[in-house]
Chains A and B, each alone.
Chain A
């Protein structure tokens, strides 16, 4: 056998399948070949892909879908709607003017119950807490209610839904390269439920392995510090 004889990588990083190609790959994993894909199989596949992306959202935060948003607070207004694709707020801080410069103060999340326990919910001041009410259109409520010493600009990191998967015109799923195999394996598992139940168990194992690799990789590589809060203990 003769070999080409020199190191010759492609030099490109352009591989990214469209949702349609991804669906074809998922079908190939359950032995449905390209020339046998029927309209009903296409409809099921695009639906299952979007169901899977919904589960993908639930398993977040997915780092590729984390972005920073800002919100200008209005005096005496405690509650604001957020963009409906928002799944969860990871971090929020308040940008405010002080001493000729601007500072950032971290805002702490509280639960519905903790918000309900606040005796005077209209107390004005510089907000230091927020309650995220996860409705169809999520909304955030601040406490204390913004006073007139602003302007107060809230900035927050959120993770949002992955954009819808559509099949036409080469549209790609809105996931990073590191998620591709997890997406294809997960979709193949879901399609096996419908079209190749005899392969469902095998594809479930594949999907689990691929998801495990992706979930392990989709993290920020920083040290994790855990320390007891002794200051409050010693104050007492």
Chain B
């Protein structure tokens, strides 16, 4: 589902007229040129994308960033940002990647063990003593990693983890969510769109609207989570296959 299709569909489902003239009693809804609606639209997209990411742990948002370079004698290191100024939502793996001048051969990865901050501070307490190729690391905060030992040279770093991707917009017509999980995506956005229409609470004009979309979202989410587990090879028997409850014998 491309952005334009999604947008038209949202307007239809919200009964937003495609004129600039608000109508009553849905006048609160506004038209698609209403500045409040236009202002809210990116928030609806952002909230929905975030929600689906947290509910499904999308493999599609995994990024391998090899732009990082450590600073000699500096154990703290800021995680790289992507083109949208987003850093990693969480760090899942860090590799030191050898270059021709490194102790490890070129293009060879040295996987960094992730420890607690206390452990790294204790085992490798200095920026300038016993420097070398880092072996361990700990998260200092959401944006900074501490390595031990502190690097003795500018090692290349590879960071793997999920990053927030460029959101759906008129200039970015298709995202993984809109193209691969369009049903889930649409349900998530409709929950937020209904909320914007003041249909989220019991005193609202259409109190069931948002609830219904939420139920629909939850139902679709279950199947989406199964499919996502397959992408990770974490589905039935740690394969990519969907569970087969009627097969005998079942997968392990």
Contact = CB atoms under 8 A, between A and B. Distances in A.
B124 interface: yes
Contacts of B115: 24, 34-35, 37
B123 A18 contact: yes
Contacts of B125: 168-169
A169 B116 contact: no
Contacts of A167: 122-123
A106 B119 CA distance: 51
B118 A168 contact: no
Contacts, number: 44
B128 to A, nearest CB: 11
B222 to A, nearest CB: 30
Given A18-B123, A167-B122, A167-B123, A37 B130 contact: no
B208 interface: no
A108 to B, nearest CB: 47
B114 interface: yes
Contacts of B80: none
Contact of B122 (A35, A36, A39, A170): A39
Contacts of B122: 20, 39, 42, 167-168
Contacts of A18: 123
B223 interface: no
A38 interface: yes
A35 B114 CA distance: 7
Interface size class of B (residues with CB under 8 A): 10 to 19
B114 A37 contact: no
B119 A24 contact: yes
Nearest to B138: A35
Contact of A34 (B116, B129, B130): B116
The majority secondary structure among interface residues of chain A is helix
A37 B115 CA distance: 8
A168 B113 contact: no
Interface string A30-47: 000011111100100000
A42 B118 contact: yes
Contact of B114 (A34, A39, A170): A34
Contacts of A38: 116, 118
Interface string A147-184: 00000000000000000000111100000000000000
Contacts of B138: 35
B113 A34 contact: yes
B151 interface: no
Contacts of A20: 119, 122-123
Contacts of B126: 169
B162 interface: no
Contacts of B113: 34
A78 B129 CA distance: 46
B124 A168 contact: yes
A167 B125 CA distance: 10
A166 to B, nearest CB: 10
Interface in B105-119: 113-116, 118-119
Interface string B115-153: 110110011111001100000001000000000010000
A35 B116 contact: yes
B118 A169 contact: no
B115 to A, nearest CB: 5
B129 A169 contact: yes
A170 B149 CA distance: 8
Nearest to A36: B116
A49 B246 CA distance: 54
A235 to B, nearest CB: 65
A169 B130 contact: yes
B40 to A, nearest CB: 39
A38 B120 CA distance: 10
Of residues A39, A167, A169, A170, which shows the largest number of chain B Cβ atoms within 10 Å of its Cβ? A169
Q: Which 3 A-B pairs have the closest CB atoms?
A: A20-B123, A169-B130, A34-B115
30 contacts: A18-B123, A20-B119, A20-B123, A24-B115, A24-B119, A34-B113, A34-B114, A34-B115, A34-B116, A34-B119, A35-B114, A35-B115, A36-B116, A37-B116, A37-B118, A37-B119, A38-B116, A39-B122, A42-B119, A167-B123, A168-B123, A168-B125, A169-B123, A169-B124, A169-B125, A169-B129, A169-B130, A169-B149, A170-B123, A170-B124
Interface of B: 113-116, 118-119, 122-126, 129-130, 138, 149
